[in-house]
With several copies, the nearest count.
Chain A
């Protein structure tokens, strides 16, 4: 069945609602409006306003309510329109959801799934263009997923909801319109990264919205005779370092592509793990292709210049291969 990433997300939510009466979707405009990215269109009609629950503009409040609902026995999927607004809810995510189980000596699990859109590229300017994945990946107690393919968008929610602990799912807004054929009965291993393209010349490690750019770069490189392996991290916490190491031990060269600002990025963590665990496997200094250290500007040419692009990935590969 050929569907969009948006459809995939919706079908996954619908399956979850059908499978378990404890599941509900809550967030700003998830109901009558159909979701700010139209992910939940139609669900209100099918499941009603109790289970497809529109919230006021109160990110701290409704995420906290989601935490309480999870402790209380529901399985809430809480949508925060974008990661930019998730800053208002971080206290509940980090100081409560992530900590509660340990802090209570194992008495309370918090089976909440928090979904949010992320990323830039649509000229939405600085306040609507963050990529804060490494913030979430830093926090013990959370699992962080970044579906980059239609298949993962379709298949990641079920295991996320089955996880008894809080899961953050970060969906790059530029992916919603991507399309693919997706078979029935798909599953997804939310412990492991996925090789999206095998190759032996260099490892391109990425996740989320950067995956299509990296695959495009791999095509460009292939045309030059450079076979890049593309690894989609897919799970940012816990990081599947073993898969990175396996790839690197074959290729001996690595470029990490991440839309976050370079300093303090998830890509930095990947490089650190490589330096710690595979230092002597490296034939060249590893490279990062990240966003420039600038609030993302509105003007298209400046925004393009601020974000990772295919040409930048290709250039970085040339550097590590030279």
Chain B
């Protein structure tokens, strides 16, 4: 693979350490609202985004810190956004669930399950009609598959032959609802057939497997200007949000999945392959922690937006 394996591991550390700190900051009430951690699923965003180009559009959900960071949104501005600061990537208006970055074609960050999918279709339509080369990659959860928006969007994308890569991050639960209690057909990739669309699946705990699957799928979408459905099998190690008592799953199941921790297993693999030694791994971890420390300092230090600005950006100032 062309991508730097060390970079993949380093980026997973960056997400993990950032989110661990977010959880602490939530306890300290520095971060408020809903906070959905991606911990356990890092291989998905890291493997996927490393397989894309700057021309591609990305949409994600409220569990999008990792995707934003991978897309190049500076950790400082992500952290500041979670604080609600004007230096945040959404000027403090969005918070954890609404990270945006127009300069990097990162379209959020939505808190309505399924609402990104139709928009992905539209972005791909714009690229197509404006003859831009990019494809649109839309991440969403297994829970979103039950929404009508999934059905309508996949049909539209396939019917209109639009370059959308739909990526299901199937972590087996939608809040407290296990996949088998939400879906009559639990093989989610198989649903593509209903839309005459190609599909594939990959191990979402293995960053290289994700990278390979997304590379292949994205290449097909790019070349064929047709959509594709990719299912990543993954698992979240933490609660759904900070309010979740996790009554719906066994500790044992979580522990079983933790044995497949995407970071620990990949670090071990790189050591086994002689790519890194233990110190090298620790160095990546330390760099990630340092970056997080810097981001927190940045978030703490930058000022609050004046209340007088409340009504700005409801509408676009004329002349823009």
A–B direct touch, CB within 8 Å, in complex?
yes
Which residues on the B side are within 8 Å of A103 (C-beta)? 90, 93-94, 98, 100, 108
| B320 contact from A64, A109, A124, Cβ within 8 A | A109
Are A72 and B175 CB-contacts (below 8 A) given A57-B182, A293-B311? no
Does residue A140 face the partner (Cβ distance < 8 Å to B)?
yes
Asked if residues A300 and B84 are in contact (CB atoms below 8 Å), the reply is yes
Does residue A69 face the partner (Cβ distance < 8 Å to B)?
yes
Asked if residues A29 and B92 are in contact (CB atoms below 8 Å), the reply is no
Which residues on the A side are within 8 Å of B93 (C-beta)? 102-105, 125-126, 295, 297-299, 302
- The distance in angstroms between the C-alpha atoms of A297 and B310, with both chains bound, is 8
For A81, the closest partner residue in chain B by CB is B175
Interface string of A38-56 (1 = CB under 8 A from B): 0000000000001000111
Distance (Å) between the CB of A55 and the closest chain B CB? Answer: 7
Which of A5-13, A90-98, A215-223, A228-236 participates in binding chain B?
A: A90-98
For A95, the closest partner residue in chain B by CB is B112
Which residues on the A side are within 8 Å of B279 (C-beta)? none
Which residues on the B side are within 8 Å of A182 (C-beta)? none
- The distance in angstroms between the C-alpha atoms of A189 and B3, with both chains bound, is 55
- The distance in angstroms between the C-alpha atoms of A125 and B126, with both chains bound, is 28
Asked if residues B175 and A36 are in contact (CB atoms below 8 Å), the reply is yes
- The distance in angstroms between the C-alpha atoms of A71 and B120, with both chains bound, is 10
Does residue A25 face the partner (Cβ distance < 8 Å to B)?
no
Asked if residues B148 and A298 are in contact (CB atoms below 8 Å), the reply is no
Which residues on the B side are within 8 Å of A95 (C-beta)? 112, 115
Question: Which of A126, A140, A141 gathers most chain B CB within 10 Å?
Answer: A126
Are A65 and B125 CB-contacts (below 8 A) given A74-B130, A298-B98, A302-B307? yes
For B134, the closest partner residue in chain A by CB is A72
Are A56 and B110 CB-contacts (below 8 A) given A34-B247, A104-B93, A125-B33? no
Asked if residues A124 and B110 are in contact (CB atoms below 8 Å), the reply is no
Interface string of B76-116 (1 = CB under 8 A from A): 00000000110011111111011011100001111111110
- The distance in angstroms between the C-alpha atoms of A125 and B94, with both chains bound, is 6
Asked if residues B311 and A294 are in contact (CB atoms below 8 Å), the reply is yes
Does residue B259 face the partner (Cβ distance < 8 Å to A)?
no
Does residue A3 face the partner (Cβ distance < 8 Å to B)?
no
Does residue A68 face the partner (Cβ distance < 8 Å to B)?
yes
Which residues on the A side are within 8 Å of B309 (C-beta)? 302
Taking A105-B94, A124-B111, A295-B314 as given, write out 7 further A-B residue pairs in contact, using a Cβ cutoff of 8 Å, ordered by the A residue number.
A100-B108, A101-B315, A126-B94, A297-B92, A298-B32, A298-B33, A302-B93
A-B contact pairs, 15 of them (CB 8 A): A33-B244, A58-B155, A64-B117, A65-B153, A65-B156, A68-B118, A68-B125, A69-B125, A71-B123, A165-B315, A165-B316, A294-B311, A300-B84, A302-B92, A306-B310
A residues at B contact (CB < 8 Å): 22, 24, 28-29, 31-34, 36, 50, 54-74, 76, 84-85, 88, 91-92, 95-96, 100-109, 122-128, 140-141, 164-165, 292-295, 297-302, 305-306
